[in-house]
Amino acid sequence: MRLNKIYPTYFAFGALLVYGVLYVLPGLLGIGYAFTDWTAFSNEVNFIGFDNFMTVFSGEENYMQFLGNTMLFTVVTTIAKTVLGLSIALVFTKAVYFRNVHRTIMFIPSSRRSDEQKRKTDISTATQSEKCIEEKLDETRLQTVLMLIFEE
């Protein structure tokens, strides 16, 4: 098999491994534990079949109220996150008082180089012209941020 034919597929193996370990495996274990009487306080695991599901949906316990509370929480937080996200988007796009200050607060982390980047630059054997270019870039970033603050 030629290397260029399998080139894109072996890049996916790392992502698939992480996805499998963090999502698929816990999901399958959760499904398996749903059919047992295991609790976090005991080491004993006994298969009990659908007894857990019959308890939940029997109506004798408050499980239906718990499910209702979970659904209510899901709906309320989804609506709240959507409204908050749209509000922030409006602040950045419409003519709102101190709009540029809001933009600056959100974008200033991306305009500054991290200490790690600075350390790598200092350690590297960059020529004087490369250092000069990086200083110019820092000045340009600062000018951009200042322009956002004082722009009307």
Instruction: Measure CA of the first residue to CA of the last residue in the chain; give whole Å.
Output: 61
pLDDT mean values, one per 10 residues, the chain (152 residues): 63 90 96 91 90 82 84 97 90 73 73 60 56 66 69 58
What pLDDT is recorded for position 27? 96
Return d(Cα 101, Cα 151) in angstroms, integer. Answer: 10
The CA angle 70-72-75, to the nearest 5 degrees, is 110
What pLDDT is recorded for position 4? 58
Q: Which residues sit opposite 47 in a β-bridge?
A: 36
What pLDDT is recorded for position 5? 63
- Of 85, 34, 28, the residue nearest 55 (C-alpha): 34
What pLDDT is recorded for position 107? 73
Return d(Cα 17, Cα 25) in angstroms, integer. Answer: 10
Query: 57-79, pLDDT tens digit by residue?
Result: 777 778 778 888 999 999 999 99
| Single pTM value for the model | 0.44
The CA angle 138-141-146, to the nearest 5 degrees, is 125
CB-based contacts of 83-92 (< 8 A; 24+ apart in sequence): none
Query: Taking a C-beta distance cutoff of 8 angstroms, is the pair 53, 47 a contact?
Result: no
What pLDDT is recorded for position 89? 83
